[in-house]
Amino acid sequence: MSRYTGPVCRLCRAEGTKLFLKGDRCYTEKCAIARRNTRPGQHGARKGKTSEYGIRLREKQKLRRFYGLNESQFAKMYEMATKMPGQTGHDFLQLLERRLDNVVYRLGFAVSRRQARELVRHGHFLVNGRKLDVPSALLRAGDVVTVREKSRDVEVLKQNAEVASQRSVPGWLEVNPETMSGRVVSLPTRDQIEVPVNEQLVVEFYAR
């Protein structure tokens, strides 16, 4: 499936919830959900009964769009989760959270996951002292993410670091805005993962 390149606010409206795809705009009254919480398109305001399949499909699409993955990437990570011990739903969310682009976003070095992927691909980050430009790379407890020395004067990163200093990060991460670095303290537990979805419905979708 090709990458979606249209207005991201349409995706939030399609799912009927904030997916936080547009950075700081999502926290203001300019958010599309706050202004017009209806599905996009000519018949978006129409409401009908959703089938059991439709409910699970929408939950899967919501989670996929929340993390900004295409269908093949998303399905591949779910397949990885099914081979891990423990609850598949939690393991799946944990894998999604451990992606380098998500960690960069959670640490506050990017205003959205889309921007985080772009910054990672451009080689602005080090992981444990080595350059890593693969957004899908999975981090482990103890890994340290640092903005490269020569990238610290990049205006976008400087602005993001200033904003990050005023925000809290999830309990499984810690950040040092002064050194523009962060560390994975531990793997995230379910109550530390803030996602607007019921992951069990996603598991049921793939298990059908």
3-state helix, strand, coil in the chain (%, to 5): 45, 10, 45
Distance in angstroms (rounded) separating the CA atoms of residues 72 and 16: 24
What is the pLDDT, as a whole number, of residue 1? 41
Reply yes or no on whether the pLDDT at 83 is more than 90: yes
Q: Which residue in the block uniquely carries the two structure tokens 């810690």?
A: 174
Reply yes or no on whether the pLDDT at 19 is more than 80: no
Lowest mean pLDDT among 44-58, 61-75, 190-204: 44-58
Greater confidence (27 vs 161) lies with 161
Residues 64 and 119 placed together within one structural domain of the fold: no
What value does the mean pLDDT take over residues 5-28? 60
Q: Which residue in the block uniquely carries the two structure tokens 């017009």?
A: 36
Task: Confirm whether 189 is domain-assigned.
Answer: no
Greater confidence (1 vs 117) lies with 117
Q: What SS3 state is found at 145? A: strand
What is the pLDDT, as a whole number, of residue 48? 66
Residues 17 and 92 placed together within one structural domain of the fold: yes
Reply yes or no on whether the pLDDT at 132 is more than 50: yes
Lowest mean pLDDT among 5-9, 69-73, 122-126, 189-193: 5-9
Greater confidence (115 vs 3) lies with 115
Reply yes or no on whether the pLDDT at 32 is more than 80: no
What is the pLDDT, as a whole number, of residue 190? 94
CB environment 134-172: b (16+ within 10 A), e (fewer):
ebbebbeeebebbbeeebeeeeebeebbeebeeeeebeb
Distance in angstroms (rounded) separating the CA atoms of residues 152 and 137: 22
Greater confidence (165 vs 29) lies with 165
Residues 117 and 171 placed together within one structural domain of the fold: yes
The 10s digit of each residue's pLDDT in 170-205 is 999 999 988 999 999 999 999 999 998 999 999 999
Distance in angstroms (rounded) separating the CA atoms of residues 21 and 10: 10
Residues 72 and 102 placed together within one structural domain of the fold: no
Q: What's the Rg (C-alpha) of the chain?
A: 18
Overall number of domains in the chain: 2
Task: Confirm whether 124 is domain-assigned.
Answer: yes
What is the pLDDT, as a whole number, of residue 166? 75
CA nearest neighbour of 184 among 132, 129, 143, 152:
143
Residues 164 and 153 placed together within one structural domain of the fold: yes
Residues 126 and 91 placed together within one structural domain of the fold: no
Residues 101 and 131 placed together within one structural domain of the fold: yes
Distance in angstroms (rounded) separating the CA atoms of residues 60 and 54: 10
CA nearest neighbour of 77 among 167, 170, 203, 204:
203
